Structure 1
Amino acid sequence: MADIKPQPAPQLQPRSIGDLIKGNLFMLIATIFFGVNIPVVKILIPEWMSSVDVTIFRLGGGCILMWIASMFMKNDRIQRDDYLRIFLGGAVGLFLFMYLFNLSLRYANPIDVSIIMTFPPIFVILIGIIFQHKRTSWLEILGIVVGFVGAFLVIVTQHAGEKGSDNILGECLALASTLCYAFYLVILEKPMQRYRPVSMLRWVFLMSCLPMLFLLPSLPKAEIFHTVEWQPWACIAFILICPTFLAYFLINPAEKLIGSELVSIYQYFLPVVAMIASVIMGVAHIRFIQIVAMIVIIIGMLITTKAKRLQRLHASASVATDSTKKTDASR
């Protein structure tokens, strides 16, 4: 299908109750996919596959699905200046995020990993402050500190009956993976606003497959290729179709229907879904400290979200005031 020129992303607001219901439903389904993905990957690692094998399947399979989908959809022509961002977002951000995330589940409790996976919004703010010199408020800093206290509770708490050092390693890897995902979000922020999802994601996944090629020699050794059982293949099918492919196409229209702030709040629902799914699948048990840590991190996220909203409202008020002054001066 012929490419077309990219169109600016429309800033749409919910026009009806139907839009609100539809947007929230899209995000609820996407969040359930992401949450259930965590214990499903834990089932595969290490009994059926290594973390490297799951990374290969997810990136390679996701790339194939994105390019097949692009054959049946309208595609934007990627501007030359954006290819460097897309390369860095795919080969560095997306690849390292998925690799470190899967590696963390080799060692850590899936519920702990799901709690730490609420951290990308905090790291996005920190990257903006440190590298983009964005202004911040004491309320934002407070939210970041509270969020890190929650992560500290997860990482340093002793795990009764488990190998503490392995869990700490897994949780640190999960934290590193959220930093990589935050980098992915920051580096691709402008292209995300400029292009349709499949137009950009097909290239992002393709770029993520470049470093993945170095992992391919280990794939034939995976236990999943030496079994006739259907369960591990069902897990792989779910990982490829639901959290890797469908969820991305649900998030984009949801953001247009209900706004980015409400979409970001669903990130805090992720550990709840992962907790329920992990217990049902029998891969983990809920501990009281996990609930406390999740609540602390969510409070930190809500504080930072509130701070960002106040900052935007203040900026809008300043613009309105300046506009009024200019109008009065011209009279």
Structure 2
Amino acid sequence: MNKQVKVHSALFLVALIYGANYSIAKEIMPEYVGPFGLIVIRVVSAVLVFGAISLFITKEKVESKADWGRMALCGLFGITLNQLSFFAGLNLTSPINASLIQTVSPVMVVLLSAFLLKEKLKVNRMLGILLAGLGAMLLISGKDSGQAQGNWLGDLLILFNAVCFGAFLVLVKPLMAKYQAITVVSRIFLIGSIGSIPFGIEQVTSPDYSTFPLSIWAAIAFVVIGMTILAYLLNIWAMKFASPALVGVYIYLQPVFAILISVYFGKDVFTWQKALYAAMIFGGVYLVSKPKKSTV
């Protein structure tokens, strides 16, 4: 398997994990664990796992204060603000609204990449983003009107989350050219946890965990192992070889997976219109990945 296929496979799997998370996390919040409590479970687990790998296996050190400063910004935008706004917003709004608003993030990635990384705004990349974004919006807007709707505060928090994640993808790119993925992710989770834990410490200590059914423990395990540890490692590893815009545009696959999962559990019907919208999304991903022949 060549490197290009590996990178796209990693980004595809990340999109699948995040697409499933919209429904799975809603099963946990707020009946069993509050949104900020779930964040504490995530970041503490990640700090322990990534920290142990970094300390005992890679043993790589951050070289300069400037790099620590950039990691601090990555921790702020990629963990603290990103997680607090996402789970608080998802707790208030519907998974459909959340996945729709997330499509703003790749636009921010392209704009910030042009401003901070001096990447050129090529025509095919912009067309790919527009095509994928249109496909995602048509796909989600095709849901039945009887489905649960979000509220303005939840939607606003998800929008802020999308902006923060876009900023994170751009900020972390130079670090990935210099350090191993585990070195970066362990530091940004450690920094991000400092800002996250105070908000969720009460919510994580108040539930009676002995009453949780097996299905909720499985959902928590998915959020911790799949969405947190595996998704972050795959995402950051892929950024060694992919542009921030390509990483960002894979967000457009999330609503595809969210609806497919709904179909599997009998909560939705797959139609030819949805197949067309999904094809638009894949076409957009292809256009964004095409510009540079030397990279993916």
TM superposition score normalised by structure 2: 0.78
* Cα distance in 2, alignment partners of residues 281 and 49 from structure 1: 24
Aligned counterparts of 2:188 and 2:282: Cα–Cα separation in 1: 30
Contact 1:97–1:177 (8 Å) recurs in 2: yes
Aligned with 2:257 (options 267, 273, 276): 273
Q: What SS does structure 2 have at the residue aligned with 1:260?
A: coil
Cα distance in structure 2, aligned partners of 1:294 and 1:222: 42
Q: Contact 2:128–2:283 (CA<8 Å) still a contact in 1?
A: yes
Aligned residue among 74, 89, 98 for 1:89: 74
Among 44, 48, 57, the alignment partner of 1:64 is: 48
Q: Which residue of 2 aligns with 1:175?
A: 159
Code of the residue aligned with 1:126 in structure 2: it is L
Give the counterpart of 2:175 among 169, 172, 191.
191
- Identity of paired residues, percent? 25
Report deviation, 1:181. Answer: 0.6
CA contact (8 A) 2:41 2:204 kept: no
Equivalences for residues 12-31 of structure 1 within 5 A: 17=1, 25-31=9-15
Find the counterpart in structure 2 of residue 318 from structure 1: none
> Does 2:92 align with 1:107?
yes
The residue number in structure 2 matching 1:35 is 19
Q: List aligned pairs for 1:278-297, cutoff 5 A.
A: 278-280=262-264, 285=268, 291=274
> 2 CA distance for matches of 1:300 and 1:21?
17
Contact 1:116 1:151 in 2 (8 A): no
- For the 8 Å contact 2:36–2:199, the answer to whether it is kept is yes
Pick aligned residue for 1:260 from 217, 227, 242: 242
Residue in 1 aligned with 2:221? 237
Distance 1:269 1:202 in 2: 27
> Cα deviations across residues 168-215 of structure 1 (Å, max 9, x unaligned)?
543443232121011111122111211111111111001101111321
Q: Is the 8 A contact 1:144 1:304 kept in 2?
A: yes
Following TM superposition, by how much is the alpha carbon of 1:58 offset from its aligned partner in structure 2, in angstroms? 1.3
Q: CA separation in 2, counterparts of 1:163 and 1:200?
A: 38
Of the two, which has the highest radius of gyration? Answer: 1
CA shift, 1:66, in A, is 1.0
Give the corresponding residue for 1:4: none
* SS at structure 2 position matched to 1:47: coil
Deviations 1:108-127 (A, max 9, x none): 33244334434433211112
- Asked if the contact 1:129–1:135 (Cα under 8 Å) also holds between the matched residues in 2, the reply is yes
Could you tell me how far 1:55 is from its partner in structure 2? 1.6
Structure 1 stretches of 5 or more lacking a match?
A: 1-16, 316-331
Aligned 8 A contact 1:49 1:224 in 2:
no
Q: What is the alpha-carbon distance in structure 1 between the residues aligned to residue 229 and residue 221 of structure 2? A: 11
Where does the alignment leave 5 or more consecutive residues of structure 2 unmatched? none
Residue equivalent to 1:202 = 186
Range moving further from structure 2, 192-201 or 227-236: 227-236
Partners of 1:220 and 1:248 in 2: CA distance: 22
d(CA) in 2 for partners of 1:276, 1:101: 22
Match of 1:53 among 21, 34, 37: 37
CA deviation profile, 1:121-177 (whole Å, cap 9, x unmatched) = 32111123456665434555555555665676689889723564x345434432321
In structure 1, the partner of 2:121 is 136
What count of residue pairs does the alignment treat as equivalent?
Answer: 291
Mapping of residues 285-324 of structure 1, within 5 Å: 285=268, 291=274, 302-306=286-290, 309=291, 312=292
Following the alignment from structure 2 to structure 1, what is the Cα–Cα distance between the partners of residues 141 and 7?
38
Q: 1:226 to 1:133 in 2, by over 3 A?
A: same
SS of the residue aligned with 1:73?
helix
SS in 2 for 1:76: coil
Matched AA of 1:68: A
| 1:255–1:191 CA distance, 2 compared to 1 (3 A) | closer
- Specify the code of the residue in structure 1 equivalent to 2:121: T
Most deviating of 92-101 and 20-29: 20-29
TM-score under structure 1 normalisation? Answer: 0.70
In the other structure, the counterpart of 2:198 is 214
The alpha carbon displacement at 1:43 in A equals 1.1
